[in-house]
């Protein structure tokens, strides 16, 4: 996979780059695995904006992804590698031996025709899924469960990977993409390999119109707004009105803690990303 530039016919095209998408083998999705999701425009059930700068965008249909990988001991063959407009990773359509079709996240190196299987003790190769209890130490993983049977919740975006570094008692020690070390029960399942489309983060957007196609509206800084619209607005010149950086509702935006220390899952964190940043 490589990054391609565009002919500079305009200032936006001059800076814009795209992926060559050479790994994609099919541009027609599986109709039985598509659902329509209404767009909210960032509004809740009462019609009030709860997520700013959302709206518009190209129409897209949601692909149903198999995060549970609960098709145990049934081999499947990768039929296609496809683009998914709802996520940064590529997806793979798997045809199982019993005739069922499912989408899974496509790890790096997965090819059309490769056989994948989910079970207790399977070969540790990209695309296969098994409990952490049976995965050898040092392997790269993705789509890792936090609760057994719930489905993968960790490392699902493009290029994401988790490393299994130790096993102690009934828990495995995982190094997350953020650098945090976390304990996860050995009964939780994970998929071998690193999520594909590694160059996704290196693509240059180039122009604002490309963001609008994704459903992202212009993001206006608080300092550029009026005092009636934002606490940091107004004033002569560049002025923050003498206040700390904050949201339109007055919630501090920098330096404040966003995680509840009494959260039950806090006890499973061995090394926090916050403490790691302080040591630096």
Dump pLDDT digits (tens) for 178-234: 999 999 999 999 999 999 999 999 999 999 999 999 999 999 999 999 999 999 998
CATH class entry, domain 3-45+59-200+271-279: mainly beta
Residue 133: strand, helix, or coil:
helix
Written as six digits, the tokens of 279 are: 């040591």
Helix residue ranges, H only, 226-272: none
In sequence order, the 6+-apart residues with CB closer than 8 A to the CB of 119 are 72, 73, 129, 130
Written as six digits, the tokens of 102 are: 């499912």
- Each residue of 67-109: pLDDT tens digit? 999 999 999 999 999 999 999 999 999 999 999 999 999 999 9
pLDDT of residue 229: 92
Average pLDDT on 14-36 reads 92
pLDDT of residue 280: 53
Alpha carbon of 246 to those of 225, 240, 241: distances in Å?
13, 10, 11
Single pTM value for the model: 0.88
Alpha-carbon distance 199 to 105, whole Å?
16
For the beta carbon of residue 274, count every other beta carbon within 10 angstroms. Answer: 11
Average pLDDT on 36-47 reads 92
Task: Count each helix (H run) and each strand (E run) in the chain, helices first.
Answer: 3, 17
Domain-by-domain residue ranges, the chain?
3-45+59-200+271-279
Radius of gyration, alpha carbons of the chain: 22
Burial tier of 242 (Cβ tally within 10 Å: 0-12, 13-18, 19+): exposed
Asked if 110 and 148 touch (Cβ cutoff 8 Å), the reply is no
């Amino acid at each position: 996979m490589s990054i391609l530039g565009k002919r500079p016919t305009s200032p936006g095209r001059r800076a814009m780059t795209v992926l060559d998408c050479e790994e994609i083998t099919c541009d027609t999705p599986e109709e039985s695995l598509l659902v329509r999701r209404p767009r909210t425009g960032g509004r809740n059930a009462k019609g009030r904006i709860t997520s700013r700068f959302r709206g518009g965008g190209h129409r897209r249909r949601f692909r149903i992804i198999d995060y549970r990988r609960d098709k145990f001991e049934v081999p499947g063959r990768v039929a296609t590698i496809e683009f998914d407009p709802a996520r940064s990773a590529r997806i793979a359509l798997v045809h199982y031996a019993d005739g069922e079709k499912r989408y899974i996240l496509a790890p790096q190196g997965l090819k059309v025709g490769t056989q994948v299987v989910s079970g207790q003790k399977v070969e540790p190769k990209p695309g296969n899924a098994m409990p952490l209890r049976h995965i050898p130490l040092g392997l790269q993983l993705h789509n890792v469960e936090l609760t057994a049977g719930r489905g993968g919740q960790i490392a699902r975006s493009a290029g994401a990977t988790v490393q299994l570094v130790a096993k102690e008692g009934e828990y495995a020690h995982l190094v997350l993409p953020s650098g945090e070390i976390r304990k996860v029960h050995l009964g939780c399942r994970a998929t071998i390999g690193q999520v594909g489309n590694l160059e996704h983060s290196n693509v240059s957007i180039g122009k604002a119109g490309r963001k609008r196609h994704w459903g992202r509206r212009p993001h206006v800084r608080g300092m550029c707004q009026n005092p009636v619209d934002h606490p940091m607005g107004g004033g002569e010149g560049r002025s923050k009105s003498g206040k700390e950086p904050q949201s339109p509702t007055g919630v501090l935006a920098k330096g404040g803690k966003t995680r509840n220390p009494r959260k039950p899952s806090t006890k499973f964190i061995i090394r926090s990303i916050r403490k790691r940043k302080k040591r630096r």
